[in-house]
Structure 1
Amino acid sequence: MPPAASAPRLDRLRHWFAARHGLALEACDPTLAAGDASFRRYYRAGLPGGETRILMDAPPAQEDSRPFVAIAEAWEAAGLPVPHLYGVDLEAGFLELQDLGDTPLSAYFDDEASALAWHKRAIELLHRLQAAAPTEGLPAYDAALLGRELDLFPDWCLSWLGLPTPPSWPALRQVLIDAALAQLRVAVHRDFDAMNLMVQGKTLTLIDFQDAVAGPPSYDLISLLRGRYQRFDAATFAAFVDDFRERAQAEGRLPADLEAATWRHQVDAMAAQRALKVLGIFCRLTHRDHKAGYLARLPHFLDHLRDSLAGLPAHGDFRAWLEGDFAPALSAALAREGVA
């Protein structure tokens, strides 16, 4: 949202917050705390006693806040760490939330030991989420949604690069969908990323969960392990994946007879699906939504795609196309855009 368009809404947000707390308007001076890839903006506002709150501005014409509110209430009732909702005006698109500070999990990835320790904490939270969060009321992560996400890759990434969809694409696309649908259903955050896990002391809190669905247990795991900040070596990644399977089987979230090799195939397929989706989304954010900084992340997710496809040896034709056609075209396009 451009600043000129946000100014009237910020003034309305000030009036709303002031009225809620019986404050003089001049005492309300929200400051921008964060924006994201959507039209939502987050502001920090103070109360007379020194407590602060986060005010979400989600313009109703662009953002439907009802899923966020419903999920926040359901997950809080289930004992999960989510920001408390103090006030909601869905018609205006204003929410008043608990202030969780400014420190996301990604701030703790300075060294390998710290990154590993915090990833273990995050996976512990993921186990809690899958065990406690209800799936009732969540949209299904079905074949149609999985397919729409995959199609972001040819529709936005390949079209930007001027590349035709390779002949090997339909077969890979179907295998990735089938592998996701073969898994049991749990509540899926759908962006279980280190930017969406806020740190207070040693506690992690979930944010940005409005797109949650009922879907495969592997999705949030690979959102974390093959996200925007880390690229683990094969042995470390495999250890995380195997440990997750063993606990999820013990707790009944994965079938007791699920073999390690089958689970790893499902994880790699899910990771490939997400990497392809992200490559498409980042191109769309750049070229349709005019948001900066996303092209620079494309090589990182290309590496994630390579790692994921390494576990899917039956799709050698697509891997050959990726290296022979896609990777050089991407490098050339980024050079033209001035992206290092």
Structure 2
Amino acid sequence: MIPPAAAAAFLAANGWADAAILPVAGDASFRRYFRAVKDGRSAILMDAPPPHEDPRPFIEIARWLGERGFAAPAIHGIDLDLGLVLIEDFGDIRMRETVDNDASRELALYEAAIDVLVRLHREEPAVVPSYDRAVLHREADLLTEWYCPALGIEADQAAYDAAWNAVFDHAFTGPVVTVLRDYHAENLMLIGDDTLGLLDFQDALAGHPAYDLVSLLQDARRDVDERVETAMLARYKAATGAGDAFDVAYHVLGTQRNAKIIGIFTRLWQRDGKTRYAALCPRVWRYLNRDLAYPELAPVKAWFDATIPAELRGDPMVLAA
């Protein structure tokens, strides 16, 4: 984690000359993060190098959220040519470790996270691309593109696409809202009086409100108790008036998101050498299997049952060994 060559000059130009530059844990993308520390204050330096990364969507959505009272990082400095952005530092206290270390806080923090989504979904959606059928298909195809070949499974792609086509109408039954897409406990920071700070929203799209609930309640990185999931869905529905169609969309989008994640995690292992992601796949399979049990998912369940037997639903690195 060596800072980019231009980091010192960029920081100096934005009022942070001679700041110490310390690495911060990153994510699964090409983005890297550093903490600039000077005179008892700190900020986060995002290194989003072109052509792999474009920080403009992050900047635009951060400002859109901030203008509406959500806790997104303030932007302190930008150099688009270098792919450098200086943003507000929300610290290191994530919702994930907080609930893992203190079970007594789990319910209240998940309620707070649901309430953020309730507020967000009352806003007119941001000007972002649509989470349309083509995007849903492209993401679901990551499973047949990466997971199936890794295990030597010959997938009938036409049948797979047809199965999804039979259920995707349910993903367009609700209002259109801003979908942050990676809304989960590792991207929610506790700041100040336990305000939830938002991160990793640069890929936002306009789509169904159930998607971010799936991201939160079927978290690929930590186990969410089914009782918590049920209670949080009920809380959201009570606040928004969502009905049974919302439940169907939730499970359809849950199946789609979990299939996508299994494909992405397999790719991160095979292509990028990030083996830790393969080990997360068994949890994601558990969520996916639960979603597939929903009656409206019958066409997709039939494809999975015919193509990927139960004993091949797990850690692809272990199963391929």
CA distance in 2, matches of 1:323, 1:29: 56
Secondary structure at the aligned position of 2:131 is classed as coil
Secondary structure at the aligned position of 1:32 is classed as strand
Shift of 1:109: 2.1
CA contact (8 A) 1:161 1:330 kept: no
CA contact (8 A) 2:133 2:168 kept: yes
Secondary structure at the aligned position of 1:35 is classed as coil
Cα distance 1:321–1:20, how it changes in 2: closer, same or farther (>3 A)? closer
Q: Give the 5 Å matches for 1:119-268.
A: 119-132=110-123, 134-165=124-155, 169-200=160-191, 201-228=193-220, 229-233=222-226, 235-249=227-241, 254=242, 259-260=243-244, 262-268=245-251
Shift of 1:91: 1.1
Equivalent in 26, 29, 48 of residue 58 of structure 1: 48
CA distance in 1, matches of 2:4, 2:311: 44
- Residue 272 of structure 2 corresponds to residue 282 of structure 1: no
CA distance in 2, matches of 1:16, 1:289: 29
Which residue of structure 2 lines up, in the alignment, with residue 86 of structure 1?
76
Q: Give the 5 Å matches for 1:15-34.
A: 15-21=9-15, 23=17, 27-34=18-25
Which residue of structure 1 lines up, in the alignment, with residue 91 of structure 2?
101
CA contact (8 A) 1:14 1:29 kept: no
Secondary structure at the aligned position of 1:60 is classed as coil
Q: Deviations over 1:292-316 (max 9, x none)?
A: 3100000000000011111236527
CA distance in 1, matches of 2:231, 2:315: 36
One-letter code of the match for 2:146? W
Percentage of identical aligned residues: 33
One-letter code of the match for 2:68? A
Number of paired residues?
Answer: 317
Shift of 1:290: 2.3
CA contact (8 A) 2:181 2:215 kept: yes
Secondary structure at the aligned position of 1:293 is classed as helix
Root mean square deviation of aligned Cα: 2.3
Q: Which shows bigger deviation, 299-308 or 69-78?
A: 69-78
CA contact (8 A) 1:139 1:214 kept: yes
Q: Deviations over 1:143-184 (max 9, x none)?
A: 111110111110111111111225863343113422112222
CA distance in 1, matches of 2:68, 2:308: 48
Q: Which shows bigger deviation, 325-334 or 208-217?
A: 325-334
CA distance in 2, matches of 1:277, 1:11: 35
| Structure 1: 5+ residue stretches without partners | none
Secondary structure at the aligned position of 2:4 is classed as helix
Cα distance 1:238–1:85, how it changes in 2: closer, same or farther (>3 A)? same
Which residue of structure 2 lines up, in the alignment, with residue 40 of structure 1?
31
Cα distance 1:267–1:70, how it changes in 2: closer, same or farther (>3 A)? same
- Residue 312 of structure 2 corresponds to residue 329 of structure 1: yes
CA contact (8 A) 1:31 1:45 kept: yes
One-letter code of the match for 1:175? A
Cα distance 1:319–1:116, how it changes in 2: closer, same or farther (>3 A)? farther
Q: Which shows bigger deviation, 237-246 or 183-192?
A: 237-246
Which residue of structure 1 lines up, in the alignment, with residue 278 of structure 2?
295
Cα distance 1:288–1:35, how it changes in 2: closer, same or farther (>3 A)? same
Aligned structure 1 segments of 4 or more residues deviating by more than 6 angstroms = none
Which residue of structure 1 lines up, in the alignment, with residue 6 of structure 2?
12
CA distance in 2, matches of 1:309, 1:266: 12
Secondary structure at the aligned position of 1:102 is classed as coil
